[in-house]
């Protein structure tokens, strides 16, 4: 249940970029694919995830430039690749 609560909190604190992208991706507007935002996956919460396309879309803010966050991002990428999930980072 903690993962779901964390995802809900993140959805309530969206950045302007996340709001904009969500407008384009929600309600199967992107080639009829179902996209979820702030989708919990293991220890991570993916910004936008499409299970059908096995695609993760990440919108990286300024905090992603710090060494600790870069390490976490690298770990996330490895975890996703091991599950066959591709990532796009902006």
Provide the residue-wise pLDDT of the chain in tens; the chain has 90 residues: 567 777 677 777 788 888 899 999 999 998 899 999 989 888 888 999 999 999 999 987 655 556 776 888 889 999 999 999 999 988
Dist. CA 37–CA 66, nearest whole Å = 24
Q: What is the pTM of this model?
A: 0.80
Dist. CA 72–CA 51, nearest whole Å = 22
2-89 fold = Endonuclease; Chain A (3.40.960)
Dist. CA 45–CA 57, nearest whole Å = 11
Query: Element (H or E) spanning 80, and its range?
Result: helix 67-82
What pLDDT score was predicted for residue 62? 56
Query: Element (H or E) spanning 55, and its range?
Result: strand 55-58
Q: Please give the structure tokens belonging to residue 48.
A: 């936008």
Query: Element (H or E) spanning 40, and its range?
Result: strand 36-41
What pLDDT score was predicted for residue 45? 86
Dist. CA 65–CA 84, nearest whole Å = 25
């Amino acid at each position: 249940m903690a993962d779901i609560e964390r995802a809900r909190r993140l959805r309530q604190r969206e950045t302007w970029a996340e709001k904009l992208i969500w407008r384009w991706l929600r309600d199967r507007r992107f080639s009829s694919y179902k996209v979820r935002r702030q989708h919990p996956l293991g220890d991570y919460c993916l910004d936008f995830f499409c299970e059908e396309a096995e695609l993760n879309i990440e919108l990286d803010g300024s905090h992603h430039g710090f060494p600790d966050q870069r390490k976490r991002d690298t770990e996330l990428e490895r975890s996703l690749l091991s599950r066959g999930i591709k990532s796009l980072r902006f």
